[in-house]
Amino acid sequence: MFQNAVHSANWIRNAIAAAALTCGVAHAQLTNCKDPGPPDVFKIFVDEVRATGGSTGSARVREKVQGIHKFLSENLKASSGDNASVRDCGKRFPSDSADFDNKEFDGLDNLRVVLEVWGMLDDPVKGSGSLGFALVPARPIAPPAVYVVPSANLLNSLRQGKQMSAFAPLVLGIRQYQNKNYADAVPLLCAGTQQLNSVLTGQSALGDDAFRTRQRELMKKVKEITDSAIREARRTPGSPFGLWNPTSDGTFLCPD
């Protein structure tokens, strides 16, 4: 009987392990980037843009998603400049935001990936879909740092919105801050803050209310980081940040 109990307990343990393994396999849908780039530079991963629904196989839809992918890549190249290398990750595509767990973030962090972007075209006729962003260095300050932005018209949002331009300097700035490169972090944080503010305000404000609320929380954290980065940069003897004066309440703010 005791043996039976042990056997039974082992069976349950094995079943749990198998179930965990199965979950692990499910999460392993996130394949490796086909072209992760050189190890020593910051990188932005551009995953596949996929069409969901029944029309995924048509040539016209394929061309459309290729167009969105190219648009994403080219605009990220323009907004990141020499600060990061934009990589085409081929078929890599998260099946769910939860694919970006701690292990995945650690892996991206080790590869010096600062931003990962993907897209889903739900209705090719209407153009509705969503864009996903994993802001890798932002996870410790605003977890989970994965944002999926729904849009009634994906390309329209891409055209009007400058979120990609905003995210690139923002994540690079946070990463520089985490690496204690405070002087390098501040210009990027200031550029990202200004650009993200313009994304979140005005008539063409991006995303839904939930997205904007989370973005404002992120902005609050980024402001704190910027203040901290300037203070830290001022500690270095001879730093030009020593010439930068705080506002009347004692905080350091980006120029406006």
Partner 1 sequence: MPSPGSARTCFLTVLMVLLFTRLTQAGMAHRDCRFPMVFEGAAVNVVVLPYSYAGRNYSLSNLGNRLSLLVKLDVLSHILEYGSVGAVQMEMPEGVPSDDPSCLPETVLPILLGTHAPNMALAGMFANTRGSVNALRPGHGLVLVWGLLYEEGDDIFAQTYVRFLRRDINEAIEFQAGGSSLSAKPSSQLLAFIPQKFTQSELKQMEDSYSRADYVRDEPNDSARGDQLPQLVAKCAGYGCDDSPVHAGFYVQEKRGEWIRIQYMDPTKGQQKEGWIHSAGGLAGAPLEKILPEIKFIEGCAGYLRLRVADAENTPQMPAAPALAVNQLNGFVRSNDSQPDDIAKAVALQLAGAVEYLSGRGQVESLIKAADDFERARKMIPYDPNAITLAVGAQVAEEWRQKGRFEQTALKAERMSAASALSSDKAALANLNSLYRLLLSSPEPASAADNLTRAELKERMEALKRVAAPK
Interaction site with partner 1 (CB under 8 A): 59-60, 62-64, 66-71, 74-75, 78-79, 81, 125, 127, 153, 155-156, 158-160, 162, 183-184, 186-187, 190-191, 193-195, 198, 202, 204, 230, 233, 237-245, 254-256
Structure tokens at 35: 């072209």
Least CB distance to partner 1 at residue 219 (A): 14
Comparing CB distances to partner 1, the nearer of 24 and 81 is: 81
Residue keyed to tokens 């980024």 = 222
Kindly state the smallest distance separating residue 53's Cβ from partner 1, in Å. 16
Angle at CA of residue 55, ends 53 and 61, nearest 5°: 115
CB of 187 to partner 1, least distance (A): 5
Least CB distance to partner 1 at residue 66 (A): 4
Per the CB < 8 A criterion, the answer to whether 220 and 198 are in contact is: no
Nearer to partner 1, 140 or 202 (CB): 202
Indicate the residue among 145 and 190 with the shorter CB distance to partner 1: 190
Query: Minimum Å distance from CB 77 to partner 1?
Result: 9
CB closer to partner 1, 144 vs 228 = 228
Does residue 133 contact residue 110 with C-beta atoms inside 8 Å?
no
Side-chain-side CA neighbours of 132 within 13 Å: the count stands at 24
Angle between helices 163-178 and 209-235 (to 10 degrees): 40
Q: At its nearest, how many Å lie between partner 1 and the CB of residue 138? A: 19
- Residue 26: closest CA among 95, 106, 117: 95
DSSP secondary structure code for residue 134 in this structure = E
Q: What are the structure tokens assigned to 93, written together?
A: 């595509």
Q: What is Dmax (Cα atoms) for the chain?
A: 79
Smaller CB separation from partner 1, 27 or 223: 223
Cβ atoms of 228 and 178 closer than 8 Å: no
Q: Which is nearer to partner 1, 194 or 228 (CB)?
A: 194
Return phi, psi of residue 250, to 5°: 90, 0
What residues pair up with 119 in beta bridges, in sequence order? 49, 131
Give the residues across from 117 on adjacent strands.
46, 133
Give the residue with the Cβ less far from partner 1, 107 or 127: 127
Question: Minimum CB separation from partner 1 for residue 61, in Å?
Answer: 10
CA distance 51 to 126: 12
